[in-house]
Amino acid sequence: MRVVFFIPGFLRQWTEGKSRVELEGRPATVADALTLLWERHPGVRDRVVTEQGSVRPHVNVFVGPESIRFTGGLATPLEGDCEVSIVPAVSGG
Amino acid sequence: MVATRQITPRDGDVMILVGTTKGAFLLRSNAARKRFELGGPHFAGQSIYSLTLDQRGGNRRLYAGGSSDHFGPVLYTSDDLGKSWSDRERMAVRFPDDAGAALARIWQIVPGREPGKVYCGVEPAALFESNDSGESWSLVRGLWDHPHRPQWQPGGGGLCLHTVIPDAVHPGRVFVAISTGGVYRTDDGGATWQVRNVGVRAEFMPDKHPEFGQCVHKIVQHPTFPERLFLQNHWGLYRSEDAADSWQDIANGVPSDFGFAMTMHPHDPETVYIVPIESDGFRCTPEGKLRVYRTCDAGLSWEPLTRGLPQENALETVLRDGMGADDLNPAGIYFGTRSGKVYGSPDGGASWSVIADGLPPVLCVKAVVIGDPLKVRVPRPAARAKAKAPAKGRVKAKAVAKPKRAKAKSSAKPKSAKAKSSPKPKRAKAKPRATASRAKRKSAGAKKKR
């Protein structure tokens, strides 16, 4: 199973400049997939989620075209290859 | 992205650290403080609520409390006066898992008494401490576990611990101010905290004098008079002569006793600066006049300082950390506005000029002298000598009759007699850091006046 992450510009200093990070694994949920991401790139974690593990209010995470806010949050299940986009919300800034 | 302009401060220069809603700006000048070079923005796009330069132990570490609206708050440090900044993979200031809270903002960064000790006041209201110059941080549990904490309520800026004053003389004593919670003091290094709001009113509560819940906007202390503190409240100006055990109203002759910013003169423990704001409903300078008010007698009277400041159509706001003073003699006083202007006075407030304009809304202003201020010779142009005279007699003649007050003030106590009868505080026996000797030497003239 392959998970592709799309990384916004602000966070690329923590992904060696990469806008696309591809990882192999079998994550069952979005939380599992994100854990894979910050095992590879630890600096991304605290920028996307708080120290208590919640996605920051003005960060949106999408699986394909769907925001996880409407599909079960971090518990959103993943099946097969997927694309996870981390996007700063329009509400911030 | 906008390019960051770098400045190169040298020993004896004055640096003004300006935090805005969209980044930090660093200004530098020589000791004359006539012209300032503007550097920045650093952390473009982030709101910078706190900036501090810690020069203890021969080190120079700049701290910046930044916050991206999207990606959260970060404590940055720089050991080369802002040329480069640390950015750790793992956030250094963070609530432990069992606290169940997430850091929202770093409101204050203050060096402590002990070597390497640094405090952070944050939102949600909590105090963090570091014993290794900001490398690692821990939550001060004594305050976090205080039984009052669940009842503290957020003010307009959030529920924040915005002021930290490590006592200059008494080991283990620290004051903090919380909006809204009020003033708390520890005498045992943070293990236990006592509420210290007696005399401070809460206009927005049915009980105007609750034990806690006051919306204290800023407190200041002079290191040579550690028992005396001044307080700018959400309605109310106060002084304490007993280390915050009680507070007396000193709103004598100000156009409004509402305001945010308050700054202590670095060499004179009776001189304090504020910028009155009309009201909580209209948070702008009264009458469209941008006036800094100064007391030179510990709050018995206040005088408006207006030379060089706009006196019409100036609907400005200066926030709680938006004013600071440098340690030169004469002291420089600086403040920044929500409209993105920074004003400076190289002569203790006698005359002002714009030293930066067109910035994003200003959140905090700190002024620091690079190196030892005692080694800096301030040039004194002939014109400045005239402007510098404090003219105490004129102060009282100009004092305005009554401060503007909130309507509900049934429990407010009469103030003038009480203020005038306040005893002289005992001068601290110990000389804290270099400041005590500096104050003694450099404010000799001010002492004679008293």
Q: In chain B, which residues have their Cβ closer than 8 Å to the Cβ of A14? A: 89
A40 touches chain B (CB under 8 A): no
Dihedral sign computed on CA atoms, order B294, B296, B302, B304 = negative
Please tell me the distance in Å from A24's CA to the nearest CA on chain B.
23
pLDDT attached to residue B128: 98
pTM to 2 decimal places: 0.88
> What contacts B406, CB < 8 A, 6 or more positions away?
B203, B235, B258, B279, B280
A56 touches chain B (CB under 8 A): yes
B101 touches chain A (CB under 8 A): yes
Which of B374, B274, B256 lies closest to B325, judged by CA? B274
pLDDT attached to residue B403: 45
Nearest CB to B70; choose among A13, A45, A92:
A92
Q: Degrees (nearest 5) of the Cα angle B310, B347, B285?
A: 30
A59 touches chain B (CB under 8 A): yes
Nearest CB to A54; choose among B45, B89, B102:
B102
- Buried residues in B189-205 as b, exposed as e (16+ CB within 10 A): bbeebebbbebbbbbbe
Q: What number of other Cβ atoms are within 10 A of residue B448's Cβ?
A: 7
Its ipTM equals 0.93
E strand or H helix that includes residue A47: helix A45-48
pLDDT attached to residue B427: 55
Q: Give me Rg for the CA atoms of chain A.
A: 12
Q: In chain B, which residues have their Cβ closer than 8 Å to the Cβ of A92? A: 68-70
Q: In this structure, which amino acid lies at residue A88? A: P
CA B388 to CA B332: how far, in whole Å? 12
Q: What is the DSSP letter of B410?
A: T
Please tell me the distance in Å from B447's CA to the nearest CA on chain A.
49
Mean pLDDT of chain A: 95
- Token pair for residue A21? 């990070």
- Buried residues in B350-375 as b, exposed as e (16+ CB within 10 A): bbbeebbeebbbbbbbbbbbbeebee
Per-residue pLDDT tens listing for chain B (450 residues): 789 999 999 999 999 999 999 999 999 999 999 999 999 999 999 999 999 999 998 899 999 999 999 999 999 999 999 999 998 999 999 999 999 999 999 999 999 999 999 999 999 999 999 999 999 999 999 999 999 999 999 988 899 999 999 999 999 999 999 999 999 999 999 999 999 999 999 989 899 999 999 999 999 999 999 999 999 999 999 999 999 999 999 999 999 999 999 999 999 999 999 999 999 989 999 999 999 999 999 999 999 999 999 999 999 999 999 999 999 999 999 999 999 999 999 999 999 999 999 999 999 999 999 999 999 999 977 555 555 545 444 444 333 334 444 444 433 333 343 444 444 555 554 444 444 444 444 443 344 333
A88 touches chain B (CB under 8 A): yes
A12 touches chain B (CB under 8 A): no
A3 touches chain B (CB under 8 A): no
Across the interface, do A89 and B91 touch by the CB < 8 Å criterion? no
Q: In chain B, which residues have their Cβ closer than 8 Å to the Cβ of A54? A: 102
pLDDT attached to residue A3: 95
Burial class (CB in 10 A: 0-12, 13-18, 19+), B207: exposed
- Token pair for residue A17? 């400049």
Q: In chain A, which residues have their Cβ closer than 8 Å to the Cβ of B103? A: 50-51
Grouping H, G, I as helix, E, B as strand and the rest as coil, residue B357 is coil
* Cβ B349 vs Cβ B333: under 8 Å: yes
CA A19 to CA B309: how far, in whole Å? 49
pLDDT digits (tens, 9 = 90+) for A9-29: 999 999 999 999 999 999 999
Site from A50, A55, A61 to mutate, B interface, most B CB atoms within 10 angstroms: A50
Q: How far is CA A38 from the centre of its chain?
A: 9
Nearest CB to B102; choose among A48, A50, A88:
A50
Q: In chain A, which residues have their Cβ closer than 8 Å to the Cβ of B69? A: 58, 92-93
| Torsion angle of C-alpha atoms B222, B227, B230, B236, degrees rounded to 10 | 180
- Token pair for residue B159? 């529920």
Q: In chain B, which residues have their Cβ closer than 8 Å to the Cβ of A61? A: none
Please tell me the distance in Å from B93's CA to the nearest CA on chain A.
10
Site from A7, A11, A52 to mutate, B interface, most B CB atoms within 10 angstroms: A52
Cα dist from B71 to A4, A43, A47, whole Å: 21, 11, 5
CA end-to-end span of chain A, whole Å? 35
B98 touches chain A (CB under 8 A): no
Which residues in chain A show pLDDT less than 70? 92-93
